[in-house]
Structure 1
Amino acid sequence: MPVRTFVLSQGLVRAVWPAKLADETVDYAVDWTARLAAGDAIGASTFELPKGLVSPKASNTDKVATVWISGGAAGQAYEIVNRVTTAKGAELAQAIRLRVKTR
């Protein structure tokens, strides 16, 4: 699991990933374990990235959704939304804030 994993809890409203540099491509993850019903698992996961950020790759396991992110403008903050559909048909979403830092 990437070091930059945000572990969700029940009812969490605000999520923040550690900042990255504009020229880095970094893996980030969302651990959905606490939000999944007993015996449920992630069936599909998508990440919605705003203009300026690029995702060369994304994947998921039964409990964790991972995305690789590159780009962004130094000094800007972005909101990424991870949407998952579970094996039992639940549709969940979480917004995560990511700041692109200057050197």
Structure 2
Amino acid sequence: MSIKWKTPKDPDEVLDYVVDYSSRMVPGDRIAAVLEVSVVEGSVHIDSYSFTDNRLTVWLSAGEEGETCPILFRVTTEGGRLLGQTVSVRIKSK
């Protein structure tokens, strides 16, 4: 499943973006571990990431004007589920 974040990222900004897995998780299940956070294409940089019960937050920097950068996320849950998500962020100067 691939989605786009609505808020574009300026190349000079460092911003946080959230992937919310709550609609895809069984009630009571929680993220146990992050298996992968990687840029599929483009020059955006992943500075760091963290997670709570059902949300993963990633901090992004850099990127080139006009790019759309897909980022792949893979998590596992306490219930043994493997959830993958690709989310794209558009790079646009403000």
TM-score grouping bracket, smaller chain normalisation? 0.7 to 0.9
Structure 2, unpaired ranges of 5+: none
* Structure 1 residue aligned with 2:17: 28
Give CA-to-partner distance per residue, 1:1-58, whole Å, 9 cap, x none.
xxxxxxxxxxxx4411110100111000111111111221001123111452212210
TM-score between the two structures when normalised by the length of structure 1: 0.81
Q: What residue identity is the alignment partner of 1:75?
A: G
5+ residue gaps, structure 1, are 1-12
Contact map agreement 2:45 2:60 (CA 8 A) in 1: yes
User: Cα RMSD between the aligned structures?
Assistant: 1.3
Q: Structure 1 stretch 64-73 or stretch 39-48: which is displaced more?
A: 39-48
| Runs of 4+ more than 3 Å apart | none
Residues paired across the two proteins, number: 91
